Structure 1
Amino acid sequence: MLLNRILENKKISINKKKQILPVSCLKIPSAEKPNSIIKKISHQKFIIIAETKKASPSGGVFRKKYNPARIATSYVSGGASAVSVLTEEAFFLGSIEDLRKVKNAVDIPVLNKDFIIDEYQIYLAKYFGADCVLLILRILSDSQFLHMFELARSLNLEVLIEVHNKKEIQRLSNILPDSRGALIGINSRDIDTLSISHETIFNLLSSAKNIKIPVIAESGVKDANILRQLYQSGASGALIGEYFLRSKSPGELVKKLLKEMNYG
């Protein structure tokens, strides 16, 4: 299964990074408040988190000459409210250095999207400039999730918590200690089959809204009509990557989607 392969590779990668750059060498600016995605949501009807990544298992390589900072600045000019930076190395060809490049290039919130299974990754994300980190509920036990969530919040990082089904939403509602600084991400892509179901998002939105924190739709969104339906169904935003990255002018595509959305 693809997810298992990603996680096994991630364990090896983390151990190598710890030897090169141990936590003791990281100067963590813990008192620094994040550039807040949640605040963006409070000031806008609906936000777009535009993602930059070199490749994906489902889409292949998007750009051979990959410049994440240039892509991110294009997103800003197009009206994106935040940028997601995918830093997984083996399957998405990312790098933690991509995070710093983007952070130095933009003035909007930056999300570090990766398969976080070790607290070291949260320290690393903070060190390289993240304002928010992704925690995938499916790959963490309750105790692991709580530890990661509380550590992230102690470092003034917001947390996008990814769920895939009603069982995970119910589990989250039972264990989430404090909703401050938290967002829910509903991912419509099955990581093992790589298939996408928009019905997944709409079916889960009502359940997710019961937790009373902002909900972000993830994966496969590339149509203004779907964005409008998401907004009308209670979503606070959408995270979009591949659709933008296949364009020579990703920022213009962000602008076009926002214009066509016409909230209604």
Structure 2
Amino acid sequence: MEGLASLNTATRVAIGVGPSLLRDKHFAKSSPPPSIAMINHNSPRLPSIRAQQSETSDGASTVTAVSESPENTLKAKEWEVGMLQDEVAASQGIRIRRRPPSGPPQHYVGPFEFRLQNEGNTPRNILEEIIWHKDIEVSQLKERRPLVTLKKALDSAPPARDFIGALRAAHARTGLPGLIAEVKKASPSRGVLREDFDPVEIARAYEKGGAACLSVLTDQKYFQGGFENLEAIRYAGVQCPLLCKEFVIEAWQIYYARTKGADAILLIAAVLPDLDIRYMVKICKMLGLAALVEVHDEREMDRVLGIEGVELIGINNRNLETFEVDISNTKKLLEGERGELIRQKGILVVGESGLFTPDDIAYVQEAGVRAVLVGESIVKQSDPTKGIAGLFGRDISV
């Protein structure tokens, strides 16, 4: 949609949405966001003003001048950085956008500020919706707990435990994949999995049943989890190392998880560009955390295998865009040269999603996994301890 904007001052402005916009030969080359072009080159000294766009019934747009604030200028700069991040991510095949492409509620172009709303502000799938919400959530949390305070809190955090070592030891003991049992109340695709949800009691039952490690959902809005669950399990005397199952988009979240007692954290290749993964893996090593880097397809696997320092890769058989599950995805990603490279690097592979029976476990183990992450098929059982025995076809408890 294109429209002319009117302003009750001597300054004339033209606004457009989309790549084929009105372009002024004096301005177009220097216009920051490519989605807006404006004509404003006749005034030698413009005051510090901004303009707010609204649409009239005839399709035209109106721009109202208001005063500029440093806070909104900062938001505009953050939006520009975010757009650059999304461009880099897209070049690596990442389809999940970090935030709505139309920018923050208000952003600047030259001396004017605009509010844009269009179809681009609708998430394309559930994972993108979660990430957009997480971006806002993390921004709010960072204001309350700046990174400097988290670094101080690390001194009183419980010591990190060997997550990968626990999985290798379980595999050596049982001859079966080491189990990461997931403490999860709900999911966007399945709804509430367990009404009588007591995270500590479930964690204890998993440990009793032979789980090597635990995964704890910390997302509240979509999975009804929380960091309080992670903290409660850690301080309840459960010995299994804990994976913080979170949608990580910033390094701040890694520090936060460590202060809450996490021993490992999830990094999703469908969301994070290579540079972010490389940087976050280094931070995890510095903090003593394991980084479970999750992939879904061949391109993501190739990207992750090219990153130095990755020791733990999870293959998710669930398409996080459609939520469809196919456990043959694990075999496909571990065949041929990829599987050989994984063995050469000594990477431990975790099978994730769609694992409900001993045959499922045997299938992914034969494909090359040495650990599995399982939630739904055991958390729904009235006795999770027996659920683990049923999943593996025998008792794997110590």
Change (3 A) 1:151 1:30: farther
* C-alpha deviation, 1:229, in angstroms: 2.2
Code of the residue aligned with 1:59 in structure 2: it is R
Alignment size in residue pairs: 259
Structure 1 equivalent of residue 388 of structure 2: 254
Q: Residue deviations 1:95-152, cap 9 Å, x none?
A: 1111111212310110001110011110011000011100001101111111111111
Change (3 A) 1:13 1:48: same
Code of the residue aligned with 1:237 in structure 2: it is A
Structure 2 equivalent of residue 240 of structure 1: 374
* C-alpha deviation, 1:31, in angstroms: 9.8
Code of the residue aligned with 1:96 in structure 2: it is F
| 1:202 lines up with 2:331 in the alignment | yes
* C-alpha deviation, 1:209, in angstroms: 5.3
- TM-score between the two structures when normalised by the length of structure 2: 0.62
Gaps of at least 5 residues in structure 1 are none
Q: Which residue, out of 140, 161, 169, partners 1:16?
A: 140
Partner Cα distance (2:126, 2:168) in 1: 36
Structure 2 equivalent of residue 37 of structure 1: 163
| 1:125 lines up with 2:249 in the alignment | no
Partner Cα distance (2:293, 2:212) in 1: 18
* C-alpha deviation, 1:177, in angstroms: 1.8
The answer to which structure, 1 or 2, has the higher relative contact order (CA under 8 A, 6+ apart) is: 1
Partner Cα distance (1:208, 1:120) in 2: 33
| 1:104 lines up with 2:230 in the alignment | no
Structure 2 equivalent of residue 193 of structure 1: 322
**Contact 2:265–2:289 (Cα < 8 Å) also in 1:** yes
Matches within 5 A, 1:1-264: 1-26=125-150, 27-29=153-155, 34-43=160-169, 44=171, 45=175, 46-105=177-236, 106-174=238-306, 176-179=307-310, 182-206=311-335, 207-208=338-339, 210-211=341-342, 212=345, 213-260=347-394
Code of the residue aligned with 2:326 in structure 1: it is S
Code of the residue aligned with 2:145 in structure 1: it is L
Residue identity over aligned pairs, in percent, reads 34
* C-alpha deviation, 1:85, in angstroms: 0.3
SS in 1 for 2:275: helix
**Contact 1:62–1:245 (Cα < 8 Å) also in 2:** yes
Code of the residue aligned with 2:129 in structure 1: it is R
Code of the residue aligned with 1:121 in structure 2: it is Q
Change (3 A) 1:65 1:34: same
**Contact 1:228–1:261 (Cα < 8 Å) also in 2:** no
Partner Cα distance (1:7, 1:237) in 2: 27
SS in 2 for 1:28: helix
Partner Cα distance (1:150, 1:30) in 2: 22
SS in 2 for 1:88: coil
Partner Cα distance (1:145, 1:245) in 2: 30
* C-alpha deviation, 1:30, in angstroms: 9.5
Larger Rg: 2
Partner Cα distance (2:217, 2:291) in 1: 15
Q: Residue deviations 1:158-182, cap 9 Å, x none?
A: 01000011111111122x2224xx2
RMSD of aligned alpha carbons: 1.9
Higher helix share goes to which structure? 1
Partner Cα distance (1:121, 1:166) in 2: 27
Change (3 A) 1:214 1:261: farther
Partner Cα distance (1:98, 1:261) in 2: 27
**Contact 1:227–1:261 (Cα < 8 Å) also in 2:** no
